Structure 1
Amino acid sequence: MTFTQRQISPFNPTENTRTMGKGMRAAVLFLLSVLVLIGILGGRLFYLQLIEGDRNQQLAENNRIRLIAKPPERGRLFDRKGNILASSRLAHVVYLWPIAQPKDKWQPTIKRLAELIGVSAQTITDKLEQEGYNSPNLVRVSTAISPKLVTVLSEHSLELPGVKVEPEAVRYYPNGDVAAHVLGYTGELTAEELPKLREKGYRPGDVIGKSGVEYAFENQLRGEWGGQQVEVDAFGKVLRILGQKPPKSGNAVKMTIDLDLEKAVEKILGEQQGGIVAMNPNNGEVLAMVSHPAFDPNLFSGKISEATWKRLQEKDHPFVNRVLQVYPPASTFKVVTMTAGLETNKFGINDVLPTYPYLDVGGFQFWDHNHAGFGTIGFSEAMAYSSNTFFGQVGMRVGEKDLATWARKYGYGEYSGLEIKEEETKGTVPDEEWKKRVIGEPWYVGNTLNMSIGQGDVQANLVQVSMMTAAIANGGFKIRPHFLLEDSDAKEWRQSLNISPTNLAAVQKALRSVFDFGTAAALNSSEISMAGKSGTAQDPPRLNHAWFTVYAPYENPEIVVTVFAENAGGGGGSAVAAPLAVQTIEAYMKIKSMPNSPINPPVPAVNSN
């Protein structure tokens, strides 16, 4: 075999050198390109490893390690004897796990889930977007689903990637609508509430207290989130649990409410629209608080159907706590008028006044309720008979300024101190300055007369009337009503009204005369000595409201009860409200002799829609 050898022409000596130069330049360029590429890669590696190394390591770790948050069980509410007022029961809850699939994969899942659980796709999407598609936290989209729906979701699990059905403790009220307005209810965070509470660790779908003590004691009841640290694969599937922090349950709260008395008072009030509050006059503990109509707070632990919600709305404002709403206090306010008359020295305890069918003031006739008057009488008879013309004369001589001063001393026109302040209306103590500012009119003598008998613009709630009655019962001290049993500050807080002992005894005697020979004489008891005052408030064109406030025993008071019957008519406070108040006193005396051991029924299984 022979090889042909290329000859270099002597006439063209540069031919070979040009060819070799081109090859060298190409090599050099290639080498430079490689060096530049290595430099870029090296610089990038230097940046990623040394400058951004910690951050990227964390990102890589986050792609592999997830923290699945677990909500805590809400703290339980107990009555003063240890009976459970609110606890938890096991239910199944539907969650989304945002990181389980990419953002663009979620909509088919959401659409199918919405069809199965009856929650709109937009609502589910909104909750997911509030939390974020890259969040490792579970997002609640439905609460307390039925066992049947648990089975349905399990059967369709392949169509629902990223959807989890988890067991969870949901709020449970074993006594149904008993003490509903005191306890309140829980519910999911709204879109409006979430931004304000995120900084406190709340998440979309979290359940919080919405009203009552559930709202007031949210910080104590809420507890602390826990969770599991898990390792996941590229598809978000859990490979193993690396560690876990158990959720910390919320604190139990023991309340002043006596469940036995609460149930008894619920029956006493019955279907009468209105409210009853019973409290200890010496330390402000609220023993019972009933408002009718009411609602079952268990309804809010799951999904409320449209039919159920419509039925609730057909009632006359069942979510309004009538004990904390304000109305004209009517003749119960005569306690304020008597106190003001005696403490300003405009009257003495033995003074008497003539009474009339009516008082003519400024061309207006202010009638006594019997349209005849009661002759010449003193304070005890006037309180017993509830004479408008007697107390109208007292009020006009005292004047609106001193009436207003003493009303405020008793607690009118201000919040009572109850923990559920957001649901309380503080009412009105009118005076000349108030009328000019609010109504734009001058103050007239007729306004003073109306105020002195608890009519006109004066407004008060049942707790304020109870505070006034308690001050007379306990020796002249303003106390702070409260629901928290362990609240030593509230229990020990007492503010002297500085009523002279002689005048205080005169007011106590006048309230006792209501039972001895006055408007409540038919209810006088040889077993339980009581003192109190009736009231009938006008509410044209509707029927009159009925009031009665009472304390017992007269010699050593343990309980104050105030009853309000809304638009009751039928004879007013003495005929409608007084019997309910006396029945409450009798129930209290009977219950206090019963054993204190709690009786808590077993928690039933969830049966939600």
Structure 2
Amino acid sequence: MGVVYTNNNSKKYFIIGGIVGIIVIVSVVLFFLLSGNNNEGTLKDFYTLISEKKYDEMYDCISEESQKKYDKETFVTRNQNIYEGIEANQLSIEVLDEEDNQLTYQVKMNTVAGEVSFENKTTIEDDKIVWDDSFIFPDLTQNDKVRVSEDEANRGRILDRNGKMLAGQGEAYSVGLVRGKLNGENDYDQLAKLLSLTKESIQKTMSAAWIQDDSFVPLTTIPSDDTQLENQLLQIPGVQLNTVEVRSYPYGEITSHLTGYMQQVTAEDLEKHQGEGYTETSMIGRSGIEAAYEKQLKGTNGATISIVDENGSTKSTVATQEKQDGQDITLTIDIDLQKDLYQSFENDQSASVAMNPTNGEVLALVSTPSFDSNNFIYGFSTEEWDALNNDEAQPLTNRFRSTWVPGSTMKSITAAIGLETGSLDASKDFGAEMKWQKDSSWGDYYVTTLHAPNPNNLKNALIYSDNVYFAKAALEIGKDNLEKGYQSLKIGEDIPFELALTKSQYTSDSFDKDIQIADSGYGQGQILMNPVQMASIYSSFMNDGKMMTPHVVKSTETSVWAEPFSKKTTDEIKSDLIQVVEDSHGTAHSLKNSQFQLAAKTGTGEIKESQDDTTGTEIGWLSVASTDSSNPIVITTMVEDVKGRGGSGYVVDHVKQPLMSYLQR
């Protein structure tokens, strides 16, 4: 008997045929799907290259026919000039439709004139883009140009509390040359000398290919109020002075550490602030309020992107954005007080902070010596820049930002901590001693004082500024209570302020040792205080124990930074500080006057290698406050190197006039 396979084979053929049919159908579908995906992918890849500014690679992605119409150099130059000229960024596309390899798609991008969005069409051939100028903008043809017209925003002003301008728009002269009017090389020599430039740099500038004989070529900017220099320059044939607008600082050195200054942007700035409207010629705030409020002050430039034909006529507007001038920043500063404090200490290395104790408004913020912010606008010669940086007085150092040994101004704080924690009795007599040590374990180390009052209670110790009393008091208060008090005063924490400040500190590895605790009681040891924070703490003595958050930008909102002391504590400290002025033995007695009641504490911080070191320097301090609630003010001033110049008495003498002038106003 034979075996018959007919039925089985038919079934097998049917199954195989079915599989082949499915494969064919799937292949056809995949072909069309993948063809569409490839076209869309090709287009998106091209836009990715635009975003990455890879113009050479873009040229390799256009069709052979397109490459015949546009050589590579022309293509690369045109795309680069347009996309970078409009500052295109964040490009994205969405394919809306595809038919016969022609894609309809939506383009979105951010530009110097805001967001641009348009619908466009392109054809893909053999995975290449059929490209012409309309790919960039639908209305753009080969003979057209893309024009960007900018309307520069005015930078906001910096004003004092009464609206007086501390920084704003001013006028200067742009000094330039007209080559066709020059007499010869000798003019370069004379001009270089007057402008603190080199002859070579001027010649290099004047050799640029674009310069015609009648072209005005700017060289530098000078102040418009230097009449002598202006007359000397105009005597040189070919020199021309054009009035230009510049950032101006009317008070110069008096406010420069506060306002800060501006400089031309760097490559790093342009990268960091990409898409924010900065160009290679932009200026940017580099320090002080100019830097802290750069975004608000800068504003937003206006711009219009348009397509113009070969005759320069506008065909269409791609995008337009109105300019938004920068905001004015109003400070809490009283410029008259600022000026008085600066002029009192302009020959010193000092910092002064004036504050309203009831709301934390900073009325003056001074660092001396100083620099002139205007010089950063006009530029420095190499010699001028070197002189500024190598000045031993360090005029570029901002002293109100730094921390310093507080000396005896810390005694009021030690006393307040002791009273608040119940670990110090204000009436206790610690005994009058000119030289003291806890016990023999201190070896050769003694705490010494210049005055030892009798009875040696808190009030007299503050009046006479007795070191020994506060060394003993610190040990009685104890390490834990002192640290608790320092923490309640926010010492060691970041200072909430518009400008960055170095935070005060008290901790050290040896703070648990009796000598360090005793020294901290009268402001030596390892304590360093920032002048703004010191003014805030002394403000609490005038404000029922509340430390208001310090601020230098005007605001209707105020806040309490800390409440370290009760009214009972501050009433005691305030009463004693009044006696530091009123009592004839008080270290601030020279501030006494018949018009205003003042409370004050002086301090002298010693900086030396050892107790026996006689070559060290001294830092003089004064914190003084008006007790009149209708005219509240606290001034804290620190002056370096007062040794042999009257110590803290030097500071008292020089604060008196600015304070009295302010109170009388």
User: Which interval holds the TM-score relative to the shorter structure?
Assistant: 0.7 to 0.9
CA drift of 1:219 comes to 1.3
- 465-474 or 563-572, which moves further after superposition? 563-572
Partner amino acid, structure 1, of 2:618: N
2:594 corresponds to 1:526: yes
2:353 maps to 277
Cα displacement (A) at 1:374: 2.5
How far apart are 1:292 and its partner, in Å?
0.9
In the TM superposition, residue 453 of structure 1 has moved relative to its aligned partner by 0.9
Would you say 1:366 and 2:465 are equivalent positions? Answer: no
1:179 equivalent in alignment to 2:255: yes
Return the match for 1:83 from 140, 164, 169: 164
Distance 1:320 1:239 in 2: 55
List aligned pairs for 1:122-133, cutoff 5 A: none
1-structure distance, mates of 2:233, 2:304 = 23
Q: What's the CA shift string for 1:225-250, capped at 9, x where partnerless?
A: 1235465677xx96669777553321
In structure 2, the partner of 1:304 is 380
Whole-angstrom CA distance in 2 between matches of 1:556 and 1:590: 12
SS of residue in 2 equivalent to 1:416: coil
Q: Is the 8 A contact 2:621 2:637 kept in 1?
A: yes
Query: Could you tell me how far apart the structure 2 residues matched to 1:150 and 1:468 are?
Result: 55
Q: Is the 8 A contact 1:73 1:169 kept in 2?
A: no
Contact 1:272 1:565 in 2 (8 A): yes
Cα distance change, pair 571–412 in 1 and its aligned pair in 2 (3 A): farther
Secondary structure in 1 aligned to 2:636? strand
Per the TM alignment, residue 220 of structure 1 is displaced from its structure 2 partner at its CA by: 1.1
Whole-Å separation in 2 of the counterparts to 1:228 and 1:86? 29
Q: Which residue of 1 aligns with 2:54?
A: none
How many equivalent residue pairs?
496
CA distance in 1, matches of 2:367, 2:287: 14
1:556 shift after superposition: 5.6
2:516 to 447, 450, 453: 447
Partner of 2:402: 325
Indicate which of 634, 647, 654 corresponds to 1:580: 654
Corresponding residue to 2:459 among 358, 380, 400? 380
Q: 2: distance between equivalents of 1:69 and 1:94?
A: 24
- In the TM superposition, residue 568 of structure 1 has moved relative to its aligned partner by 1.3
Preserved contact between residue 536 and residue 572 of structure 1 (Cα < 8 Å): no
Q: Contact 1:551/1:559 (CA < 8 Å) preserved in 2?
A: yes
Q: How does 1:196-275 map to 2 (within 5 A)?
A: 196-229=272-305, 247-275=323-351
Q: Take 2:336 and 2:165, find their aligned partners in 1: how far apart are those partners? A: 12
- Shifted more, 46-55 versus 398-407: the winner is 46-55
2:659 is paired with a residue whose SS is helix
1:471 aligns with 2:551: no
AA paired with 1:589? L
How does 1:59-74 map onto structure 2 within 5 Å? 60=141, 64-74=145-155
What is the CA deviation profile of residues 161-187 of structure 1, one whole-angstrom value per residue up to 9, with x for unaligned ones? xxxx99863211122222111111011
Q: Distance in 1 between matches of 2:415 and 2:381?
A: 53
Is 2:257 aligned against 1:188?
Answer: no
Partner of 1:590: 664
- Given the two structures, how large is their TM-score scaled by the length of structure 2? 0.67
Deviation of 1:55 after TM superposition, in Å, equals 2.2
In the alignment, does 2:135 pair up with 1:55? yes
| Distance change (3 Å), C-alpha of 1:143 and 1:255 | farther
SS in 2 for 1:85: strand
**Which of 502, 505, 508 lines up with 1:428 in the alignment?**
505
The answer as to whether partners of 2:349 and 2:639 remain within 8 angstroms in 1 is yes
Which residue of structure 2 lines up, in the alignment, with residue 14 of structure 1?
A: none
Q: Which stretch has the larger CA shift, 282-291 or 82-91?
A: 82-91
CA deviation map 1:492-532 (0-9, x unaligned): 20245252332221111111110122111233112110001
Moved more, 298-307 or 398-407: 398-407
- Residue type of the alignment partner of 2:150: A
Distance 1:532 1:403 in 2: 22
Distance 1:353 1:427, change over 3 A: same
- 2:549 is equivalent to residue 480 of structure 1: yes
Letter in 2 for 1:363: G
**Is residue 632 of structure 2 the alignment partner of residue 558 of structure 1?**
yes
SS of residue in 1 equivalent to 2:252: coil
Instruction: Give the secondary structure class of the aligned counterpart of 2:267.
Output: coil
Q: Is residue 466–residue 549 contact of structure 1 (8 Å, CA) maintained in 2?
A: yes
The answer to whether 1:334 aligns with 2:334 is no
Does the Cα contact within 8 Å between 1:366 and 1:389 map onto a contact in 2? no
User: Deviation digits for residues 407-440 of structure 1, max 9, x if unmatched?
Assistant: 232243233322111xx2113121xxx42xxxxx
Contact 1:545 1:572 in 2 (8 A): no
Is the CA contact 1:410–1:467 (under 8 Å) kept in the aligned structure 2? no
Please say which of residues 239-248 and 406-415 is displaced more in the overlay.
239-248
Closer/same/farther in 2, CA of residues 172 and 358 from structure 1, 3 Å limit: same
1:572 Cα deviation from its structure 2 partner: 5.0
> For structure 1, which segment, 355-364 or 251-260, has the greater mean C-alpha deviation from structure 2 after superposition?
355-364
State the alpha-carbon separation in 1 of the partners of residues 234 and 366 from structure 2.
40
Q: CA deviation at 1:155?
A: 7.9
Partner SS for 1:200:
coil
Distance 1:238 1:166 in 2: 28
- Residue of structure 1 in register with 2:567 after alignment: 501
Q: Deviations over 1:184-220 (max 9, x none)?
A: 1011122233221114333323211111111111111
Q: Alpha-carbon deviations, 1:102-133, whole Å to 9, x = none?
A: xxxxxxxxxxxx999948989x99xxxxxxxx
TM score, norm. by length of structure 1: 0.73
CA distance 1:203–1:402, change in 2 (3 Å)? farther
Q: CA offsets, 1:309-344, max 9 Å, x none?
A: 133224321111212211110111112210121122
* Pair 1:442–1:182, CA change in 2 (3 A): closer
Question: Using a 3 Å threshold, how does the CA distance of structure 1 residues 184 and 42 change in structure 2: closer, same or farther?
Answer: closer
Distance in 2 (CA, whole Å) between partners of 1:224 and 1:555 is 43
Amino acid in structure 2 at the alignment position of 1:374: P
Amino acid at match of 2:348: Q
Distance 2:544 2:200 in 1: 60
Amino acid at match of 2:523: G
Residue of structure 2 equivalent to 1:288: 364
Aligned to 1:458: 527
CA distance in 1, matches of 2:603, 2:315: 67
Aligned to 1:412: 491
* Local SS of the residue matching 1:170: strand
Structure-2 change in CA distance of 1:505 and 1:41 (3 Å) = closer
8 Å Cα contact 2:307/2:314 also seen in 1 = yes
Distance 1:402 1:155, change over 3 A: same
**1:356–1:375 Cα contact (<8 Å) kept:** no
Question: Is the CA contact 2:590–2:652 (under 8 Å) kept in the aligned structure 1?
Answer: no
Question: What's 1:170 paired with?
Answer: 246
Residue 438 of structure 1 aligns with which residue?
none
Query: What percent identity do the matched residue pairs reach?
Result: 27
Report the residue type matching 1:89 in the other structure: G
* CA displacement at 1:578 relative to structure 2: 1.4
Q: Which moved more, 1:462-471 or 1:263-272?
A: 263-272
- Distance change (3 Å), C-alpha of 1:62 and 1:419: farther
In the aligned structure 1, how far is the partner of 2:590 from the partner of 2:222?
Answer: 54
Name the aligned partner's letter for residue 493 of structure 1.
Answer: S
Contact 1:261 1:287 in 2 (8 A): yes
Which one-letter code corresponds to 1:471 in the other structure? S
| Structure-1 separation of matches of 2:644 and 2:637 | 15
Which residue of 2 is the match for residue 110 of structure 1? Answer: none
For 1:83, the aligned partner's letter is K
- Indicate the residue corresponding to 1:538 in structure 2: 606
